[in-house]
Amino acid sequence: MKEKLIISGRHILNLDPHLHMWHWQIPLYLFLGGLAAGILFFASFMAIRGNDEKYPISVKYTPIIAPFALILGLGALMLDLKNPLFSWQLYTTFRIESPMSWGAWTLMFITPLSIVWVGSYLKEIVPKIWNKKKFINKLLKILFKETNEGKANWEWKFNFLIKFETYVIKFRKPVAWTMLVSSVILGIYTGILLSAFNARPLWNTSVLGPLFLTSGLSTAAAVNIIFAKTKKERMLYSRIDIVLIIIELFLIVHMFMGFLAGTEIKILTAQMFLGGQFTIPFWVLVVGLGLIIPLLLESLELKGFHIPPIIPAILVLLGGLFFRFIMVEAGQFIGYLF
């Protein structure tokens, strides 16, 4: 009997089948991007519907979180890059077939747009936060004029800001439509960024884009629930979140049904969550604590039971964060070997 020695590069440590190149920075970036996309979606949607005064928290206040979330997310992404000084090259061209190109250009567009949106409401927001903190006052004095009594009169110091604010307010509805479309693209992109990796069976599914978008909207609804000042606004977002959680559960089930009906590697991928090493983290932290328990608590609240709204909202936020960490880690664990 003759023996043959086959040498293959299929089992290179940390590369194939285990690709441990993405760490905490990427799931954090995906979470913050999805959260910002959801916040801006609700802000623009309510503004388009003319509900600026009816639901002021979601239109005027929580959008303040979005620019910071986007900047922090991009900061996390920069930490992950091996050559961050070359990241500007993403903006010298646009490749329609590249999810990374779509994401880079969308982020470059929506980040300043979110700042403009917040700025257009700043004069309404500032009187309510004036004299809260000394460092806030110092920041506000950079932009706003002061009277002789040392109190701001809510006028911009610079004429170009006055003109720009007037222009944005005049065309606020077109700005809202632009932000609405951009936020949807950003929310879907956070999932498509992963699904474009054909060699990773967990990520390579068309369900991931809608699933990440829905999860981002759900986390944004949770933020609006936390900061809502009126019961009417809080209940509205509780209802929205219930619908979004049900959609998430449907998409998760649909994703695993697709895996189990696929090739052998897809079945092995599903088995990582159905008895494998990711079973308890996924079904307990993401589905149990992050989806089913908030769904039950919010449903009970709508039925008239006294449920502190911050509890299901925080669980939704934690569930969305855990979901991205688990998906990024598990996706690097198994690849196509046959």
The parent domain of residue 310 ranges over: 25-331
Q: So what's the pLDDT on residue 184?
A: 93
In-domain check, residue 19? no
| CA 167 from centre of chain | 29
Strand 144-146 to 152-156 pairing: antiparallel
Nearest CA to 69 out of 180, 161, 165, 187 is that of 187
In-domain check, residue 337? no
In-domain check, residue 338? no
What stretches of the chain show up as alpha helix (H) in DSSP? 25-48, 56, 65-80, 99-120, 122-129, 134-143, 159-170, 172-195, 208-227, 231-260, 264-271, 279-280, 293-302, 310-331
In-domain check, residue 234? yes
Of the CA atoms within 13 Å of residue 203, those in its CB half-sphere come to 26
Q: So what's the pLDDT on residue 22?
A: 74
In-domain check, residue 13? no
Q: So what's the pLDDT on residue 92?
A: 76
For residue 44, what are the CA distances in angstroms to 111, 161, 174, 216, 228?
A: 14, 22, 10, 15, 17
In-domain check, residue 247? yes
Instruction: For residue 145, give both structure tokens.
Output: 């004029």
| Tokens 């065309």 sit on residue | 171
In-domain check, residue 173? yes
Kindly write down the DSSP assignment for every residue of 111-142, as one continuous string. HHHHHHHHHHTHHHHHHHHTTS-HHHHHHHHH
Residue 61 CA to residue 56 CA, distance in Å, equals: 7
Q: So what's the pLDDT on residue 255?
A: 92
Phi, psi values for residue 316, rounded to 5°: -65, -45
In-domain check, residue 20? no
Residue 287 CA to residue 319 CA, distance in Å, equals: 7
Q: In this structure, what CATH number is given to the domain that contains residue 105?
A: 1.20.1630.10
Residue 125 CA to residue 66 CA, distance in Å, equals: 16
Q: What is the pLDDT along the chain (338 residues), one digit of tens a residue?
A: 555 544 555 555 555 555 557 778 889 989 999 999 999 999 999 999 888 888 888 998 899 999 999 999 888 888 777 777 777 777 777 777 777 777 778 888 889 999 888 888 877 776 665 555 565 666 666 666 665 555 555 666 667 767 777 777 788 889 899 999 999 999 998 888 888 777 788 888 889 989 999 999 999 999 999 998 888 889 999 999 999 999 999 999 999 998 898 888 888 888 889 888 899 999 999 999 999 999 999 999 888 888 888 999 999 999 999 999 999 888 887 766 54
Contacts of 148 (CB under 8 A, 6+ apart): none
Residue 86, burial from CB neighbour count under 10 angstroms (0-12, 13-18, 19+): exposed
Nearest CA to 203 out of 25, 8, 37, 30 is that of 30
Nearest CA to 217 out of 134, 317, 287 is that of 317
Looking at the DSSP bridge assignments, the partners of residue 146 are 152
| pTM of the shown model | 0.84
Q: How many domains are there within the chain? A: 1
Phi, psi values for residue 242, rounded to 5°: -60, -45
